[in-house]
A and B are shown apart, each in its own frame.
Chain A
Amino acid sequence: MNLFSLSSTSPLQFPLIIGLFLVFLFLARRPVHQGLRALGRTLSNGLRLSSRSVLLAEREMQKRNRDVLMTEGLVQVERLLEREFQRVETIVDRDLQAYPAFHRRLSELLQQVDENYRNSSELPPTPPAWISTIEAVAKIPATSDGGVAAVLEEIRKTLDRHHQTAMEEYRKATTVRHSILKKTQPSWRRLTGTLDKVHHSITGLKERANLIDKCIQQYQEIRSGSEFAEQRLSTSAMTQFVISALVMMIAIGGAVINFNLIALPMSEMVGGNSYIGAYKTSNVAALVIILVESSMGLFLMESLRITRLFPLIGTMEERTRQRMVWISFSILATLAGVESALAFMRDQIAADMEMLRQSLTGIDAAINSNRSLIPTVGQMVLGFILPFALTFIAIPLESFIHSSRTVTGRILAWALRALAFFLRLLGRLSHHLCQVLITGYDIAIFPLLWVEEKLRRPAKKVADPADSPKLPKLATPKKEKS
């Protein structure tokens, strides 16, 4: 008879099978418990170890992020310092190089002013030697003697005449001195202007010196690896990442418009029915043109030392670098011209297509024959300008690449930390799950365990505990070190 056949007619068969199965479970209890505990421990330990190793990797990543951040920060400050020194050099070259001439001019002006001043000094007119005698005689009181009165009158007249002459001479001399002082006025103005220039230069230098001081301070902070510097650089990197990503998206929008401007006319050049893989050759060609333009723009920016994505270009000889500027600019200008022509061609083809469509639908093409030139010119201008506008993509690209190192590192570190937490959680869960399974196992066979317990108690009471054989313990979950 098949014991496991539930379709049997005997009503006792099913409880019998259950009973036998429970007995089997009771007998297999110890190895099953051991197996489940071992499984729980293995899983828990394995996952804990994995979590620890992931955490170690995360720490390494954090360290690497910090190193990258600090190095980037140092490079940035170095660049700032370099630029400030270049500006100082420019100021020194422009203003202080001409200082000897400046000084000579200043001395000349001062000498001239001094001379003029000396010439303009006011000297009181010297009274003639006989004037005191005449004054004394003039003070003699007039008597009734007519002769004396006449003499005195004559003396007084002479004295008045002399005074008048002296005053006229004095006025002339004063006018001359005033004219000398008037001539000095432009010299003073020039002097003031020259001194203002000196002041401006010195102030500019002072401002630059202050900026350099700040940069040096930042540099020292980064070198010392201070937390403040790290925090500031990290925030700066995140901001740079977001801004550059935004600008890049705008630039990509421009590139898409550029692509649409030249894709259709490219089919006139390379044919609209040939394909490279699953893509039209004309589309691929248009894309290649845009990519070449972007590359030329990148080289131009590198050669101008605005960006520093290729150290080799930055370290080139001055003449070679200048040549590179001109070559990349020429290629860019040529491609911009080609794009402008393609934009014109696009307009022509689009107009022709529209005319054909209208003629096919029965609309009189003559109605739309008077087309405005504005869209054509607009497209041509757009076709010419967009390649140059795309040149500036190099600046946000550089920022994006540099900041993405930090941001990607941070994201990876966060991901590793989350993974470590998840592994740890999984380890704990697997451990507790095994405990739950053990308890569940015991619950399933609890009648037999109860009977066992009942049978064991009297035996324990009668027998000497030292001689009693060790019975299997009840399933009590062990506390394991997590």
Chain B
Amino acid sequence: MKYLIFIPLLLVLVLTGCPDNTSHSRAVYMLLDTSGTYTAELEKAQSIINYLLGTLQPGDSFAVARIDTGSFSEKDIIKKTTFDGRPSVANEQKRAFRQAVDDFIKQVKPSPYTDITGGVLQAVEFLTETGAGDKNILIYSDMEEDLKKGYVRDFPIQLAGVRVVALNVTKLRQDIIDPRKYMTRLETWKKRLEAGGGNWRVVNDLDRPEQLLAD
């Protein structure tokens, strides 16, 4: 009879012994380059954002931010949200999100400098706060960083478990003259982000958006 006490204990152990602490949600932080002539490319970014809004599930997090002179700032976040668990509410949130992005793209003004590193740091901060299991940073830029004098960004970035995807990396005039510059630029970013534990990828073919978040 005294052994009966072990039965509830065993049950508790079975039920709580192997808890699944894995987060099944996904978080995406998208950086939009608003420097110089790249603002002309933003309309294409809209379609990617719309695709992501259609793909992300209730419970996932999504943020869109701009890259400008000093991107390590909450002010540069155009819209961020964690979609509600209820599909109907999540749909409303997606509609509002889309509207905010549309409004931004309509009135965006080019920035004189391009602080990509600051934007990535801000993205890491947001992604860590969401606690999502699948963290993604999408950088819609030509990846040419142009920092204002005095801005310090030459330090390692911690990106453990974060997938970084560079989108629509356009070739600059000097890249066309000397393609090695383009390759060196991408290679530098790859080394820098992978050194921080991130997973680097470049996607230039935007006609197949399903490969954006593919493993």
Contacts and interface: CB of A to CB of B under 8 A. Distances in A.
Nearest to A281: B85
A166 B101 CA distance: 123
B85 A360 contact: no
Given A356-B94, A356-B95, A273 B54 contact: no
Given A357-B54, A361-B50, A271 B85 contact: yes
Contact of A272 (B22, B51, B53, B58): B58
A275 B53 contact: no
B149 interface: no
A371 B98 CA distance: 25
B91 A273 contact: no
Interface in A262-297: 264, 267-268, 270-275, 277-278, 280
A271 B88 contact: no
List the 6 closest pairs (A to B, CB-CB), nearest first.
A273-B59, A271-B85, A272-B58, A360-B50, A273-B85, A272-B85
A422 to B, nearest CB: 38
B53 A353 contact: no
Interface string B77-104: 0000000011110110011001000000
B87 A268 contact: yes
Contacts of B24: 273, 275, 280
Contacts of A359: 95, 98
Contacts of A270: 85
Nearest to A275: B24
A78 interface: no
A196 interface: no
B170 interface: no
9 contacts: A268-B88, A274-B59, A275-B20, A275-B24, A349-B87, A352-B91, A353-B91, A359-B98, A360-B94
Contact of A278 (B20, B53, B54, B90): B20
B45 to A, nearest CB: 14
A268 B86 contact: yes
Interface of A: 264, 267-268, 270-275, 277-278, 280, 348-349, 352-353, 356-357, 359-361
A273 to B, nearest CB: 2
A349 B88 contact: yes
B98 to A, nearest CB: 7
Given A277-B20, A356-B94, A271 B86 contact: yes
Nearest to A271: B85
A353 B54 CA distance: 9
A264 B87 contact: yes
A353 B88 CA distance: 8
Is the interface on chain B under 10, 10 to 19, 20 to 34, or 35 or more residues?
20 to 34
Contacts of A275: 20, 24
Interface in B18-58: 20, 22, 24-25, 50-51, 53-54, 57-58
A272 B57 contact: yes
Contacts, number: 59
B53 to A, nearest CB: 6
Contacts of A264: 87
Contact of B53 (A268, A349, A360): A360
Contacts of B53: 356, 360
Contacts of A361: 50, 54
B207 to A, nearest CB: 14
A353 B55 CA distance: 11
Contacts of B54: 356-357, 360-361
A348 B58 CA distance: 16
A157 to B, nearest CB: 116
B86 A272 contact: yes
Contacts of B85: 267, 270-274
B86 A267 contact: yes
Contacts of A273: 24-25, 57-60, 85
Contacts of B59: 271-274
A352 B98 contact: no
Interface string B98-134: 1000000000000000000000000000000000000
A360 B98 contact: yes
B86 to A, nearest CB: 5
A268 B88 CA distance: 7
Nearest to B49: A360
A275 B24 CA distance: 8
- Greatest chain A CB density within 10 A among B87, B91, B95 is at B87
Given A271-B59, A360-B50, 9 more contacts: A267-B58, A267-B85, A267-B86, A272-B90, A275-B20, A356-B53, A360-B53, A361-B50, A361-B54
B153 to A, nearest CB: 35
Nearest to B52: A360
A380 B58 CA distance: 25
Nearest to A355: B91
B78 to A, nearest CB: 17
Nearest to B87: A349
A270 to B, nearest CB: 8
A360 B60 CA distance: 18
Given A273-B25, A273-B59, A275-B24, A353 B50 contact: no
Given A272-B59, A275-B20, A356 B91 contact: yes
A360 B51 contact: yes
A271 B20 contact: no
Nearest to B51: A360
B58 A271 contact: yes
Contacts of B87: 264, 267-268, 272, 349, 352-353
